[in-house]
Every structure is written in C-alpha cells, then in structure tokens.
Structure 1
C-alpha cells in the first residue's frame, strides 16, 4: 500500500507541474551541423582558487551591483526632484495668469455694467 504523501508527490509532478522533470534535468546545448543533431551537457565554470578568494570575488561583484543600483536610484531621485520643481514653477505661473484673467474679467464686467446702466440719449 502506498503512503498518501507519495500519491500527492506523484499528483503534483504529473498533473500540477508536468514540466518538473525537464526543469530539473541538467542543461544541455543543442546544435545542428551538416544535418546531424548534436546534444552536449553544459559544463559549468572551472573552480579555481580557494573558497575564500571566490567568496571575496563574489562579494566584490555584489558591491559593484549595489553601487550600480544606488547610482540608478540617485539619478531617478534627481529626475523626480527636477520634475517636481519644474511643475511648481508652472503652478506659480498658472496662478498669476488666473489672477490676471480674473482681474480682466472684472474690468470687462464693469464696462458691460456701465453700458447697461447709462441712460440712452
């Protein structure tokens, strides 16, 4: 008799994730030369040096990537700051234009009122 956990595992592998065996398989390169299909296993990088030197190299790579990310964030922040400053100036100019329009509307309404109130001769 099979255990329930093995049934779940088989169910997951066959029904839920039918591509799991292909994903878990070692990567291969496929090449077609002169009508013949050649398949090779991908070989990983050769390990050279001690574990400490490889960890230091990986640490330097991480620091370099962090520097690139920080540079990108700084550039993004400066662009956002510039954009908001430009729009604040636009809002100020728009406010002045609206004030001038209201003033002109008041003048025109006063002229219309004067024309309506004047006695006709």
Structure 2
C-alpha cells in the first residue's frame, strides 16, 4: 500500500480532485443572526448508553418517521379518491349532454333563417 503522505496522494488531491479538501472538511452549521453570518462545526452524535440502547432509539425514530410517511400517503390517497369521486361524470350523462347540444346547434340555423325572413308588420 502507498503511505497516505506520498507524492501520488498529493498529486491526486491538488490536480485530479482540487475540491477534495473542501469535501473532507468537517461539516458546519451556517446561521444568519442580525446580519452576521455565524459558522459552527457540527457535533457528532452524543454517545450516551450502550450500542444496543442507541440502536433501539434510532429504530424507534425510524418507525416514527415511517408512520408519518404512511399517514401522509394515506391522506394523499384519500384526497385523490375524494377528488375523483366528486368530479366523476357518467358516460351516459356526457352522451345526453352532447346529443342536446347537437340538437340545439341543428335548430339554430332554422331560427336564424326565420328571423332573417320575418316580415315586419
């Protein structure tokens, strides 16, 4: 293996990937207070308790998030279903409406002809 401080690594860092140093930096929180930009290093997770207890806490958090997502999906599905039911039009109704409109369209030229040829008394 190549030692970490070899010239090959420095070449890679400076020439091949000039942004590697930025990527490798520790994460920072950036906040703006009263027009002044404040940066603070992000602290890692606190290690309280055993691994098992921490994993159970993470698992509970995941279950809580999954529940929120499921409730959101359920609400979205019910809203879509309600919208579809409210705006659903029966095909028979559409056919009847189309027939009535065509009937009126066919009747209008005769009414126009009668009005044009009407004698004023």
Shorter-chain TM-score range = 0.5 to 0.7
Counterpart residue number, 2:117: none
Q: How many angstroms does 1:18 deviate by?
A: 1.9
Deviations 1:61-105 (A, max 9, x none): 000000111111111112222222233238776554322212223
CA deviation vs aligned residue, 1:23-54 (integer Å, no higher than 9, x gap): 21234578xxxxxxxx8754433311111111
Structure 2, unmatched stretches of 5+, are 31-38, 115-121
RMSD of Structure 2 on Structure 1 (CA)? 4.1
* 1:62 paired to 2:62: yes
Cα–Cα, structure 1 residues 95 and 8, in superposed 2: closer, same or farther, change >3 Å? Answer: farther
Q: How many pairs are equivalent?
A: 104
Describe the shift of the 1:94–1:11 C-alpha distance in structure 2 as closer, same or farther (beyond 3 A): farther
Q: 1:112 to 1:29 in 2, by over 3 A?
A: closer
**CA distance in 2 between partners of 1:29 and 1:105 (Å):** 69
Give runs of aligned pairs for residues 82-97 of structure 1, distance below 5 A: 82-89=82-89, 95-97=95-97
| Cross-structure match for 2:101 | 101
Distance 2:53 2:83 in 1: 45
**Residue segments in structure 1 that go unaligned for 5+ positions in a row:** 31-38, 115-121
Cα pair distance change 1:109/1:8, threshold 3 Å: farther
